[in-house]
Amino acid sequence: MFHSRKRYQKIILAMDDAMTTSRDMNVAGLASAITLATALRIQYSAHVANYGESTKEHKALHAAGQLAATSVVPYNLATLLTLVNDLTAKYTLHNTDAIDLSPTYHQAKGTTHALAAETAVTTLAGAITRLNDIKAKFNAHDADSTAHTTGSKYQIAVTDAALGAAIFVPMANVKAGDMVSWAILNDGSGNVTGVSAVASNGGVTFTFSADPQDDAIISYCVAAE
């Protein structure tokens, strides 16, 4: 009698022998930044649009201070950066009017709440820093009852954006349930250790003991049976 034995062959779906981590891949960082940017988009837009009769916050519509007509709710890094840079430019114009001796749009000269920087941001880490600054400065500007009729109508209550300990690496052929083998070749500035690696449709989430920053180096192999 002959016995058959099944042979299992693993198919390699993705691999890299030395990938340097990037904060642009940070899972919690992107999610929290999108949440804050969306709240700012809504509240800042409503703040600028509150103008007209004596009970309104502004005496005229500050059209140049409005967000671009193409402004969309951010859903990835590219759309997030576009919105953050638009918010930076438009809020800066709005604050400038608020501190003019004879403001065109505000009720009277208020207190300046200028941003720490106004240059374009190009990374997730930069967007997080800028968003947290815009939130703080906008809340202070919105609360100014000299520049506005009442003040504090459009406060941002959403928690500050922050980087986390996991990154998501896109991999086109990977699906949930695939096997992941990985190792840290260089623990980087954060001296991180590995916690887990979980495959999902479209990539793998690597979780570390802390933010791996932009300089940890890992190797990985993703396979399916």
**Do 101 and 15 belong to one domain?**
no
Residues 107, 41, single domain; the answer is: yes
16 & 54 share domain: no
Residue 95 and residue 21 share a domain: no
Which of these, 161, 154, 157, 160, lies nearest to 43 by C-alpha position?
A: 154
- Name the stretches of the chain with pLDDT < 50: 1-6
- What domain count does the chain have? 2
Burial of 171 (0-12, 13-18, 19+ CB in 10 A): buried
Residue 57 and residue 18 share a domain: no
For residue 58, which phi and psi values (nearest 5 degrees)?
A: -120, 155
Q: In what order do the strands lie in the sheet with 217-224?
A: 11-20, 217-224, 179-186
91-100 long-range Cβ contacts below 8 angstroms, 24+ apart: 91/44, 91/65, 91/115, 91/134, 91/137, 91/138, 91/141, 92/118, 93/62, 93/64, 93/65, 94/48, 94/62, 94/65, 94/141, 95/137, 95/141, 97/62, 97/65, 98/141, 98/144, 98/147
In a domain, 209, yes or no: yes
Q: What is the pLDDT of residue 208?
A: 98
Structural domain includes residue 55: yes
Position 149 in a domain:
no
Q: Of 95, 111, 142, which residue is a domain's last?
A: 142
- Tell whether 109 and 193 lie within a shared domain: no
- Per the CB < 8 A criterion, the answer to whether 74 and 34 are in contact is yes
Q: For residue 220, what are the domain limits?
A: 11-25+164-224
**190 and 209 co-located in one domain:** yes
pTM to 2 decimal places: 0.93
User: How far apart are alpha carbons 85 and 123 in whole angstroms?
Assistant: 11
